[in-house]
Amino acid sequence: MRFSIGREGRLRALAKLGDPLLNFVVSAALTLYVKSPRGVKVSNKLLRDAASSFIARHPGVALEDLYEALVGYAWLRGVSVDRMVDLAYRAMRGATSEEEALKRALVKLFVELYDEEAAEFLLSRASG
């Protein structure tokens, strides 16, 4: 299935899609990890920290927006929410705190979802 990302919004439109998806994925994984319901709003700082370990900053591109757009783009490309939850949950194993679990999950998701094709697509839509 192909989706059109028009001029209006571009990267930001994908980030708006990715934001609630990411919050759900992390909340579901954390719920499984601590065996108690959790609802998480992932902070921009955590997203920046996770992304900055793997990608250089680009002028005019907020790394947190890039991360959220990546999640939206991955989902549109067919990566299931179940797959993302599984990746995040597996990354949390062995963490000694919820904060460490969140950090591990965010890094793992970024590593698994970010590839050359995604980078090219997202960065080409970062301007305008």
pLDDT computed for residue 60 by the predictor: 72
Residue 101 contacts residue 114 (beta carbons within 8 Å): no
Partner residues linked to 58 by β-bridges: 61
pLDDT computed for residue 128 by the predictor: 47
pLDDT computed for residue 9 by the predictor: 62
| Domains recognised in the chain with CATH numbers | 11-124 (1.10.1520.20)
Place of tokens 């979802």: 113
pLDDT computed for residue 2 by the predictor: 46
The closest of 33, 12, 15 to 23, measured between CA atoms, is 15
pLDDT computed for residue 19 by the predictor: 96
For residue 32, which amino acid is it? L
Residue 107 contacts residue 50 (beta carbons within 8 Å): yes
Provide the whole-model pTM. 0.85
3-state secondary structure of 69: helix
Residue 29 contacts residue 88 (beta carbons within 8 Å): yes
pLDDT computed for residue 3 by the predictor: 46
pLDDT computed for residue 121 by the predictor: 78
pLDDT computed for residue 33 by the predictor: 96
Walk along the chain (128 residues) and give the pLDDT tens digit of each residue: 444 544 446 788 899 999 999 999 999 999 999 999 999 999 999 998 888 877 767 667 788 988 999 999 999 999 999 999 999 999 999 999 999 999 999 999 999 998 877 877 777 766 54
